[in-house]
Amino acid sequence: MKILPPGSIIGILGGGQLGRMTALAAAKLGYRCHIFCPDENEPAVGVSAFHTKAAFEDERALEAFAKAVDVVTLEWENVPLRSMEIVARHCAVHPGAKVLAVAQDREQEKTFARSIGIGTADFAIVKSAEELDAAMKKFALPAILKSTRMGYDGKGQVKIAPGMKAGEAWAAMGAPVGILESFVDFACEVSVIVAAREDGANAAYPVVENRHKNGILDETHAPAQIDAAVAREAEHVARLLAEKLGVVGLLAVELFVLREADAAGQRVLMNEIAPRPHNSGHWTMDACACGQFEQLVRAVCGLPLGDTTPHSRAVMHNLIGDDVKKWPELLAQPNASLHLYGKSESRAGRKMGHVNVIKGAW
């Protein structure tokens, strides 16, 4: 396995806050980052040594970028696969196109999970209002209709209550292909982040509980207050997915915890995966000696993985939209560590920063 020593240049596809925090962690270990994104005002650009300002479809810019860096990772999973292929001709890309192809499409995610024995909500793929209408007749309502691609933070999702018309739900979803999912009456939502190196070495952070508001992550509680057996099952599912997908870098796995075991004896169902740092892993920045961003840098550079055992319990609060105006009082709060993403404009639903509140020894 190739080891990239400190001083090397890490290319990052995408310029958002996840790229910014990766670049800060990389700088801590003496690496420099080169961000590829179309807008110089994005959060990662100002904290990185180099920036290529270009569209993800710009082949020449992608080639020049790939030749200028030592390894490439990503902070946005909707990077076009074609762009990844172009970069991969000149430079190692972690995670690779195979993982990305699965993570970009909800049908592929669920089909892959099921193929390796991991449970998911029941689902049907629908390509028109008529197909949705037919699928709705087979599903118990409520159900959820989601776009199969490009959805995040509850965007492109419609909850279908009894009595709702298929045409109405289809129009509200607004994408050419949808996935109708049975509504899971979960006890709670949890996630696990696994780091893996090219030689197969891996490490998982403990299972955490995620609470959402308006479809957007609001708080992460570490650890999740769930039975040890359920936590083991969640961790097993995450490791299995990372291993079978051949992830190098990070894989975040979001899961529903069922109130009781289903017919297959499972207590967790996979909801979705993301092959990158994840919002539900931000707590690790202040509660672990090696947070998820440093872990990503270690994994893609072939360094020894960091210890994933936290030293503290923590709660992460997202600062969405105008929440960020509370920064003076958050700075004054004991045991709180404030992280702001440097976005100039706060809009409703936009992630502006987060605060990690340390709760005492793990």
15/156 with CB nearer ligand AMP: 156
92/179 with CB nearer ligand AMP: 179
Q: To 10 degrees, what angle do helices 292-301 and 17-28 make? A: 70
Interaction of residue 144 with ligand AMP, rule CB under 6 A? yes
Amino acid at 273: I
**Binding string, residues 218-257; x marks residues near ligand AMP by CB under 6 A:** ------------------------------------x---
Interaction of residue 48 with ligand AMP, rule CB under 6 A? no
Q: Are strands 249-258 and 216-222 parallel, antiparallel or unpaired?
A: unpaired
Out of 6, 117, 215, 304, the residue judged to bind ligand AMP by CB under 6 A: 215
- Of the candidates 14, 2, 23, which has an alpha carbon nearest to the alpha carbon of residue 294? 23
Give the range of 45-53, 165-173, 181-189, 301-309 binding ligand AMP by CB under 6 A. Answer: 181-189
Interaction of residue 136 with ligand AMP, rule CB under 6 A? no
Interaction of residue 173 with ligand AMP, rule CB under 6 A? no
Structure tokens at 102: 């699965």
Site for ligand AMP in 5-44 (CB under 6 A): none
31/170 with CB nearer ligand AMP: 170
Interaction of residue 183 with ligand AMP, rule CB under 6 A? yes
- Of the candidates 342, 321, 246, which has an alpha carbon nearest to the alpha carbon of residue 19? 342
Interaction of residue 154 with ligand AMP, rule CB under 6 A? yes
Interaction of residue 320 with ligand AMP, rule CB under 6 A? no
Amino acid at 73: T
Torsion of CA 89, 91, 95, 99, to 10 degrees: 10
Give the range of 1-9, 183-191, 320-328, 331-339 binding ligand AMP by CB under 6 A. Answer: 183-191
Let me know: does 127 contact 112? Beta carbons within 8 Å.
Answer: no
189/233 with CB nearer ligand AMP: 189
Strand order in the sheet with 50-53: 50-53, 32-37, 9-13, 71-74
Residues 213, 216: Cα–Cα separation, whole Å: 5
Interaction of residue 121 with ligand AMP, rule CB under 6 A? yes
Cα separations in angstroms, 296 against 21, 252, 259, 341: 11, 12, 33, 19
What are the φ and ψ backbone dihedral angles of 68, each rounded to 5 degrees?
A: -95, -5
Interaction of residue 61 with ligand AMP, rule CB under 6 A? no
Q: Cβ 57 to ligand AMP, closest distance in Å?
A: 26
Out of 272, 286, 294, 323, the residue judged to bind ligand AMP by CB under 6 A: 272
| Residue showing the smallest CB distance to ligand AMP in the complex | 184
- Of the candidates 191, 212, 132, which has an alpha carbon nearest to the alpha carbon of residue 164? 132
Q: Cβ 260 to ligand AMP, closest distance in Å?
A: 16
Structure tokens at 125: 């793929």
Out of 42, 70, 75, 181, the residue judged to bind ligand AMP by CB under 6 A: 181
Interaction of residue 114 with ligand AMP, rule CB under 6 A? no
Interaction of residue 271 with ligand AMP, rule CB under 6 A? yes
Residues that bind ligand AMP (CB under 6 A): 121, 144, 151, 154, 181, 183-184, 189, 212, 215, 254, 271-272
